[in-house]
Amino acid sequence: FANDGYKLWLQYNYIKNETLRNTYKLQIKNLNPLGDSETIKVALNELQLGLNGMLGEAYATNSITTKEYNLIFGSKTHLAQDISIQLANEFNQINDEGFIIKSIFLKGKKQIVITAKTDIGVLYGVYHFLKLLQTNTSIEKLTIVESPKIKVRTLNHWDNLDRTVERGYSGASIWDWHRLPDYIDQRYIDYARANASIGINGTVLNNVNANALILTPPYLEKVKALSEVFRPYGIKVYLTARFSAPIEIGGLKTADPYDADVIKWWQDKAAEIYNLIPDFGGLLVKANSEGQPGPQNYDRNHVDGANMLASALESFGGIVMWRAFVYSEHDTTDRAKQAYSEFVPYDGQFKDNVLVQVKNGAIDFQPREPFHPMFGAMPKTPLMMEFQITQEYLGFSTHSIFLPKLYEETLKTDTYRKGKGSIVAKDIDGSLNDKTLTGMAGVSNIGSDINWTGNVMLQANWYGFGRLAWNPYLSSEDIADEWLRMTFSNEENFVKPIKQIMLASREAVVNYMTPFGLHHIMDTGHHYGPGPWVSNLSRPEWNPVYYHKADKQGIGFNRTATGSHATEQYAPEVANMFNNIETCPEKDLLWFHHVPWDYKLKDGNTLWDGMALKYQEGVNQVETMVKTWNTMKPYVDAQRFREIQTLLNIQYKEATWWRDACLLYFQQFSEKPLPKGVEKPT
Ligand code: GCW
| CATH assignment at residue 521 | 3.90.1330.10
The residue whose C-alpha atom lies closest to atom 11 belonging to ligand 1 is 209
pTM of the model: 0.98
What is the tens place of the pLDDT at every residue in 633-659? 999 999 999 999 999 999 999 999 999
In this structure, of 221-225, 289-293, 305-309, the range with the lowest mean pLDDT score is 289-293
Catalytic residue chosen out of the listed positions 146, 369, 392, 408: 392
Instruction: Give the domain range for residue 553.
Output: 511-557+594-670
Looking at the structure, tell me whether residues 17 and 55 fall in a common domain.
yes
pLDDT at 209: 98
- Going from the C-alpha of 431 to that of each of 79, 464, 486, 567, 640, the distances in angstroms are 32, 22, 32, 25, 41
Looking at the domain assignment, is residue 562 inside a domain? no
What is the tens place of the pLDDT at every residue in 405-440? 999 999 999 999 999 999 999 999 999 999 999 999
**Catalytic residue status for 290:** yes
Looking at the structure, tell me whether residues 198 and 251 fall in a common domain.
yes
Catalytic residue chosen out of the listed positions 364, 429, 643, 654: 364
Examine the fold and report which residue of 77, 112, 146 is the final residue of a domain before the chain moves on.
Answer: 146
Looking at the structure, tell me whether residues 394 and 278 fall in a common domain.
yes
| Sheet strands side by side (includes 30-33) | 30-33, 70-75, 109-116, 99-106, 143-146
Looking at the structure, tell me whether residues 189 and 123 fall in a common domain.
no
What is the tens place of the pLDDT at every residue in 577-612? 999 999 999 999 999 999 999 999 999 999 999 999
Looking at the domain assignment, is residue 46 inside a domain? yes
Measured in angstroms, how far is the CA atom of residue 86 from the centroid of ligand 1? 51
Instruction: Give the count of domains, the chain.
Output: 3
Looking at the domain assignment, is residue 495 inside a domain? no
Examine the fold and report which residue of 111, 146, 181 is the final residue of a domain before the chain moves on.
Answer: 146
**Catalytic residue status for 256:** no
Looking at the domain assignment, is residue 679 inside a domain? no
Please, are residues 317 and 273 in contact by the beta-carbon 8 Å criterion?
A: no
CATH code of the domain covering residue 475? 3.20.20.80
Looking at the structure, tell me whether residues 244 and 358 fall in a common domain.
yes
Looking at the structure, tell me whether residues 140 and 170 fall in a common domain.
no
Looking at the structure, tell me whether residues 453 and 546 fall in a common domain.
no
Catalytic residue chosen out of the listed positions 82, 221, 290, 329: 290
With a pLDDT cut of 70, the percent of the chain lying above it is 99
What is the tens place of the pLDDT at every residue in 122-163? 999 999 999 999 999 999 999 999 999 999 999 999 999 999
Looking at the domain assignment, is residue 502 inside a domain? no
Strands (E), 539-621: 554-555, 595-596
Which residues have CB under 6 Å of ligand 1?
A: 158, 166-167, 208-209, 286, 325, 364-365, 392
Examine the fold and report which residue of 112, 146, 180 is the final residue of a domain before the chain moves on.
Answer: 146
Looking at the structure, tell me whether residues 345 and 478 fall in a common domain.
yes
Looking at the structure, tell me whether residues 287 and 380 fall in a common domain.
yes
**Catalytic residue status for 643:** no
Looking at the domain assignment, is residue 188 inside a domain? yes
DSSP character at residue 372:
P
The residue whose C-alpha atom lies closest to atom 2 belonging to ligand 1 is 364
Looking at the structure, tell me whether residues 129 and 166 fall in a common domain.
no
Dihedral of CA atoms 490, 494, 495, 500 in degrees, nearest 10, equals: 180
Looking at the structure, tell me whether residues 89 and 33 fall in a common domain.
yes
Looking at the domain assignment, is residue 405 inside a domain? yes
What is the tens place of the pLDDT at every residue in 229-263? 999 999 999 999 999 999 999 999 999 999 999 99
CATH code of the domain covering residue 74? 3.30.379.10
**How, if at all, do strands 236-240 and 282-285 pair?**
parallel
Looking at the structure, tell me whether residues 390 and 452 fall in a common domain.
yes
Across residues 14-19, what is the average pLDDT? 97
Looking at the domain assignment, is residue 678 inside a domain? no
Quick one: CA dihedral 490, 637, 528, 654, positive or negative? positive
